[in-house]
Amino acid sequence: MISWLQISEGQQSVFLLEKRLRRFHGMSKKELVLRAIRGEAVERIPVGFWLHYVTQEEKELGLDNPAVLEKSIKGHQHYVEEISPDFVKIMSDGFFRYPSALYSREITSIQELKDIQPIGEHHPWIEKQIEVVKEIRSHFHEEIASFYNIFSPISYLKRWFRTDHSRGDQVIADFIKEDPETLAHVLDVIAEDIAILSRRLIQEAGVEGIYFSTQQIQDERVTDEEYRKIIEPSSIAVLEAANEAGGINILHICGFEGASNEVELFKDYPAQVINWATHHEGISLAEGRKLFGNRAVLGGFVNGKKGLLYQGERATIEQETRRLVAEAGSRGLILGADCTVPDDFQLERLDWVRQAAVL
């Protein structure tokens, strides 16, 4: 069985932590996370990491391949059973591609998308995601919070132009220079569907909110002003819809080797929790808390295979955990990683962090 499903002998410590948590005013893990998000006192800092359960190719194939969705459902189920997490980020594995009939790898002009129409509230791409999330949550064995992965409209659009050598940023930059108004219109149409999906996930599927993943265009031709004017409004529309639906939402500013962001560009986005690549962007949790108006922050660890979290010794990871808490403060803090951890991540490492995060 693959390593991320393996359980360590130290798993007994998970149950001791849970027992201690229940003694703290009978608090569930869900309430622990919500208290942290609200900036209230907690007995320990909540911890969360997440990984993918399907292959890179399968991330786009769920709409027409039930086996991919079953693989994702079972992957989430094993994750919850094996580690008893503080909260779950439900991955949108299988649904990475927004299904407009107008899209084609051969599109060379944004004008070719000017007639794009919303797919509609009851499109299978939306309905199936609701079904999958309900099924995943039905396997939770305790009261824990969950957040569903949603990409920004620009991220869904950009994915259609990915190749083995490009993530599609150059194509988007070309579209901005060609016809920014039409590009903004296309993003608004996509946002309409993503807003519906977010609302239904919160109100029907029962998640606490969305984990909204976005990123700057990785092309120096696109200015901050152009980003704010052309791309930002569609992202804000989705987050506002999730807020109006009662969601407690996480903004993920996706940065990694080969992709950087001016984090300040996102400081006014309407989300309750902020997650960014602290090491890659050079902004600590404490600095980010100030930048984002003292909102809750999530992260602290590098997610990749070269980072401490993946390859470090237990004592070193525990030491770093305590350092992060001391630096960022114990309120409004959730410990996690910059982004998704590798598929072969050893889940016992999550527990090392969790044990060291007891206050």
Lowest mean pLDDT among 18-27, 145-154, 276-285, 319-328: 18-27
Instruction: Answer whether residue 23 is part of any domain.
Output: no
The helix/strand/coil state of 153 is: helix
What confidence category does residue 164 fall into, taking pLDDT thresholds of 50, 70 and 90?
low
Whole-number percent of the chain with pLDDT over 70: 92
Q: Which residues contact 140 (CB under 8 A, 6 or more apart)?
A: 80, 88, 146
Q: Tell me what pLDDT residue 281 has.
A: 95
Total number of domains constituting the chain = 1
What confidence category does residue 128 fall into, taking pLDDT thresholds of 50, 70 and 90?
very high
First to last CA, the chain: 35
96 phi/psi in degrees, rounded to 5: -70, -15
CATH number at residue 190: 3.20.20.210
Between 162 and 45, the higher pLDDT residue: 45
Q: Tell me what pLDDT residue 249 has.
A: 97
Instruction: Answer whether residue 11 is part of any domain.
Output: no
Between 241 and 23, the higher pLDDT residue: 241
Instruction: Answer whether residue 15 is part of any domain.
Output: no
The pTM of the full predicted model, rounded to 2 decimals, is 0.92
What is the spatial distance between Cα 2 and Cα 24, in angstroms, rounded to a whole number? Answer: 35
Lowest mean pLDDT among 96-110, 111-125, 195-209: 96-110
- Render pLDDT for 58-78 as a digit per residue (tens, 0 to 9): 999 999 999 999 999 999 999
Instruction: Answer whether residue 51 is part of any domain.
Output: yes
Domain that holds residue 239: 33-356
Q: Tell me what pLDDT residue 223 has.
A: 96
pLDDT above 90: residue 166: no
Dihedral sign for Cα 316, 332, 217, 129, please.
positive
Instruction: Answer whether residue 310 is part of any domain.
Output: yes
- Render pLDDT for 256-267 as a digit per residue (tens, 0 to 9): 877 899 999 999
Instruction: Answer whether residue 2 is part of any domain.
Output: no
